[in-house]
Amino acid sequence: MRLVLLTALTMAAFAANSVLTRLALVETALSPGDFAFVRLASGAAMLLALARLRGAGTRTPVPLRARLPGAATLALYMLGFSFAYRSLDACVGALLLFGGVQITMFAGALVARERVPPLHWIGAAVAFSGLVWLLWPRGTAAPDPLGAGLMIAAALGWGLYSLIGRRATTGPLETTGWSFLLAVPAGALAAWATAGPWDSAGVGLAVASGALTSGLGYALWYRVLPGLGASLAAVAQLTVPVIAMAGGMIVLGEPLTAHFAGSAALVLGGIGLSLVRRPVRAGAMR
């Protein structure tokens, strides 16, 4: 139950982060590169400060080369996500992102020879069908190819970052903080390439996204990942768009529709199937 609650809290942080990112990129003048840079820098500052307060600096140092894969995949996700939303609708972007994450993490489970129970496959298919029903664009043109490619790259980055997190040997705050810090140069390069006006609202949203819903949310994700298989971790993330839409109904007073209720039931039902564990036969315990 503790693992389920922590995972649910992490998914809520991811949903809130998506809302903050969209607000900053749509409602303020901050460029995608500037947003990614501020997000990474504020996340690194928050996480490494907390790690130092908790005494993480006294542990055996981890070689820089061992930290680079996490930083590289995090940078790929951050930059792809920010730049993709310049030309993609929120729904199309979410479908591409979470569909790509599903494929990446299930592929990672197979490569690692992780046993994926049949119910995980069935649950993933049911949950993803619910997400497609919820987010499939109606009456719109095909998505921008460049934006779609950037979001698929972001999905690959996030899926690999999550798979790397399952093998982390240091605490989640320290591991995630170093990933953010080492990804900052990529964010700085993107900010230089797309330099624009910095307004207080955009910077504030980027700091909140980096320090809170990204930094602390990702650290919590690294904490729960070892207790989840790659396949179950992939399925769990399909709740993020559902949580984001439910938050809009609560905070913004958006109406509850039968379409949303049916889609959410499929997503949650599929995740429920993935959580079911087959009982161990008495003979297998001898």
Condensed to tens digits (0 to 9), the pLDDT of residues 173-220 reads: 888 889 999 999 999 999 999 878 888 899 999 999 999 988 888 888
Domain residue spans of the chain:
2-277
Query: Does position 283 have pLDDT exceeding 60, yes or no?
Result: no
pTM of full prediction above 0.75: yes
Which of 159, 151, 176 is closest to 51 using CA atoms?
A: 176
Query: Does position 265 have pLDDT exceeding 50, yes or no?
Result: yes
Query: Does position 62 have pLDDT exceeding 50, yes or no?
Result: yes
Burial label, 17 (beta-carbon count in 10 A; 0-12, 13-18, 19+) = buried
* Dihedral pair phi/psi, residue 28, rounded to 5°: -125, 175
